[in-house]
Structure 1
C-alpha cells in the first residue's frame, strides 16, 4: 500500500487549505521569512543528495542535455500556461484572489509544482517505497511539504492544495512502476539519480528564496536521462 504517497499528498492538500484560510493571520513578514527558510531547507536537502554522486560527468551531462531538451520543449512555459488557466476558475469558485502580481504568482507556483511533484526526494522516495515498503523518505518529505504548502497558500490561495492531485498521480505511478524500474538499476545509478534530483532541489531552493530564478521545470528531463547516462558511463570507464 502506498502509505508514503498518500501521507505526502494529504499533507500538501491540508497545508494548502490551512494556509489559504489562515493566510491573512500569518502576516507578510512571517510568510516572507518562512519562505526563505524553506528555500534554504530545499537547498540543504539538495546538497545532501548531491554528495551521494558517483559519476559526476554522467550527472552533469544529463543535467545539461536534459535542460536543453526542456528548453526546446518549453516545459516551463507550458506548465505556466496550464497553471494560469486553472488558477482563474479556482479563484472564482473559492472566492479568493492572490496577493501577488501575475509574474510573482507564476514564478512561485512553478517552484512549488516542481518541489512537490518532481523533486528528487519525492521520486526516489516513491521508488524506494514501492520496492522495499520503506516509507521513511516520503513521510519525512510530507512534514516539510505540509508547512511549505501552508506558507505558499497564504499568498497564492487554494490552488496550492490542488497540487496534491498531480503529485499523487506522479508518485503513485512511480510507486507502481518501482517493481519494474528498481531491478534494472545499480547502487551507482541510484546514487547518481539522487544526486541529479539534488541539483534540481538546490536550484528550486534558490528560486524559492528569490536568489536566482532557475528554469527548474525545464531541467526535469535530466531525471529521465541520468540513470541511462550513469550506466553508459560506467560501461565505458
Structure 2
C-alpha cells in the first residue's frame, strides 16, 4: 500500500497534537522560553538541510523565482485567510492568530524536507515505509511541543502533510518512467537546501528576530525542479 507510511505520519501528528493540548495551560514565561528553544532547534535543522546543496545558484534562483510568484499571487495572505477561517470555525475567542501561526508553522516544518520526499518516494517505488514511519514519530513529538505553545492549529497541518506526501507516493509509482534516477537524486538535494532555508526563516520568525513572509517563498519548492533542469543543461 503506497500510502501506508503517509497515513501513519498523519496519525502521529494528530496524536502528538492532542497530547500537546493537555499542556497548553502552562505559564506564559514557560511558553516563551520553550518557543525560543524550538526556534533555535528549527534554525539548526534548517541550516543542516541548507548545507545539502551542491549548486548555490540553483537555491538562489529557486528562492528568487518562488518569491516573485508568491508575492504576485499573495500566497501568504491566502494561507492566513485559511488559518483565520479555521480559527473562526473552531474557536469562540480571539485565538485566530495562534491558530493561523500554528497551522502555517507546523505545515511548513512537517512538509518541507528530504524525509517527506524520500519517504514518499520509497513508499511509492518500493513499498518501503520505514522512512515515513520514522518521520511520523519525529513529527509527533514536534507536534506535541508546537501545540503547547502555538495551540491546536498545529493539528490541521496533517491535511497538507497527507496531501503532499500522498501525491508524491502515488506519482512515484510511475516516476521511473519520467525522471532519471541521477536527476532525481540531485533534485532532492537542492530541494532539501531550498526547504532548509525556509525552515531557518521559520525559526527566525519564532524568535521574533525578523518576520519573513515564508508562505510567499513556497513556490520555490516547485520552481527548483525547473531551475535545476536548466542548470544541468547549461
TM-score by length of 2: 0.84
1:17-166 matches, cutoff 5 A: 17-24=18-25, 26-92=26-92, 97=93, 103=97, 106-119=100-113, 121-166=115-160
Pair 203,156 (structure 1): closer, same or farther in 2 beyond 3 Å: closer
Task: Quote the residue 2:216 is aligned against.
Answer: 218
Task: Quote the residue 2:5 is aligned against.
Answer: 4
TM-score by length of 1: 0.83
Contact 2:111/2:164 (8 A) holds in 1: yes
Which deviates the most, 155-164 or 189-198? Answer: 155-164
Return the alpha-carbon distance in structure 1 between the equivalents of residues 32 and 132 of structure 2: 26
Return the alpha-carbon distance in structure 2 between the equivalents of residues 120 and 216 of structure 1: 18
**SS of match in other structure, 2:209:** coil
Provide the aligned C-alpha RMSD in A: 2.5
Which deviates the most, 110-119 or 4-13? Answer: 110-119
Task: Quote the residue 2:14 is aligned against.
Answer: 13
Return the alpha-carbon distance in structure 2 between the equivalents of residues 58 and 136 of structure 1: 30
Structure 2, unaligned runs of 5 or more: none
Task: Quote the residue 2:202 is aligned against.
Answer: 204
Residue 10 of structure 1: CA displacement? 1.3
Pair 51,117 (structure 1): closer, same or farther in 2 beyond 3 Å: closer
Contact 1:120/1:196 (8 A) holds in 2: no
